[in-house]
Chains A and B, each alone.
Chain A
């Protein structure tokens, strides 16, 4: 009897721990291109740092910690780091969410559910060939915009944020 009680207690404790951990990592919001376009056109005096990545993209994963670090470092400033996953929407539960949990990602997380890049890439940035990683920095209030289609170093990212942050 006591043993069962102890067991259920332990189970409850583990469950609590787990839910605490899951509350810490960000949720992933699945969006379509029009919502991404809205984000791109956000009118406020905020520097948006929008990085396109995927769980299968090695150079993207390599630079993810830099974006995470920026997300934490500038959390009290008008700097918003957004990670947009290019993973398939079907992989959300079995790949993306476990990845986000494991890495305990804190940035804003979106998953763009658009299989055909040809319908939207040019609308976002004609210069973008479609290779990832790719990063957009913009502050629409100040008319600032920068597009980088390659892997960045932490110094590069920091330098860009410092250059543009309001």
Chain B
């Protein structure tokens, strides 16, 4: 009798632990500086699936969670284009990811993304994170939200900078501190990033209804 009961108790315990684990999201707070960032395979506005691994010569990426609808994201579009033009030749292209759920924010649909990319002639990939899994893994909370990653000797991508582009989202002409550029200049020279975390006010990500 005793022997019969024991496996049952084990099973109940295992089930319980399993339930507990499944209740905790895998990457609750997302990446911190120093973490290894995962690659992704997301649909670009050109219709093709895109991964970081597709860029053979990249030394890293400026992974930018951004969208069509947030006034701050829009205010940064031109600066994001400039950032790409300046740093893609140095090995750090911009990869923009739209994290917003199209049901909650219809102007962030894939079709609207294609439209916006065409209007602004984006020179970088603009990907749709339809399931929001990558956004959650990275831990992005607002748009725009930058993750600059640097390729390591083993090919993995180490998070080197998390934050904002500069110190004035509203007015490019009043910018005094270019946070992202400072970090990129250090990375290009293989130096330690001296200010790896910055913050800015931004639009909350439009999560899909649970």
Instruction: Choose the segment among A14-22, A26-34, A36-44, A111-119 that binds chain B (4+ C-beta atoms closer than 8 Å).
Output: A111-119
Complex CA gap A129/B205 in Å reads 12
Which of A52, A59, A116 has its CB near the most chain B CB atoms (within 10 A)?
A116
Instruction: Choose the segment among B42-50, B109-117, B124-132, B171-179 that binds chain A (4+ C-beta atoms closer than 8 Å).
Output: B171-179
Complex CA gap A86/B205 in Å reads 17
> Would you call A131 and B163 a contact (CB within 8 A)?
no
CB distance from A100 to the nearest CB of B (A): 18
Contact with A along B164-205 (1 / 0, CB 8 A): 100111110010010100000000000000000011111111
Band of interface residues on A: 20 to 34
Band of interface residues on B: 20 to 34
Complex CA gap A119/B70 in Å reads 22
B36 located at the interface, meaning its Cβ lies under 8 Å from any Cβ of chain A in the complex:
no
A132 located at the interface, meaning its Cβ lies under 8 Å from any Cβ of chain B in the complex:
yes
> Would you call B164 and A117 a contact (CB within 8 A)?
yes
Which of A58, A90, A119, A130 has its CB near the most chain B CB atoms (within 10 A)?
A130
Contact with B along A45-77 (1 / 0, CB 8 A): 000000010101111000000000000000000
CB distance from A64 to the nearest CB of B (A): 15
> Would you call B168 and A56 a contact (CB within 8 A)?
no
> Would you call A118 and B205 a contact (CB within 8 A)?
no
> Would you call A132 and B203 a contact (CB within 8 A)?
yes
Contacts of B164 in A (CB 8 A): 117-118, 130
Minimal Cβ-Cβ distance residue in B for A122: B199
> Would you call A115 and B167 a contact (CB within 8 A)?
yes
- Residues of chain A touching chain B, judged by Cβ–Cβ distance below 8 Å, are 52, 54, 56-59, 86, 88, 90, 115-119, 121-122, 128-133, 149-151
What are 14 A-B pairs at a CB distance below 8 A?
A59-B204, A90-B170, A115-B167, A116-B177, A117-B164, A118-B177, A119-B167, A121-B201, A122-B199, A129-B199, A131-B205, A132-B201, A132-B204, A133-B204
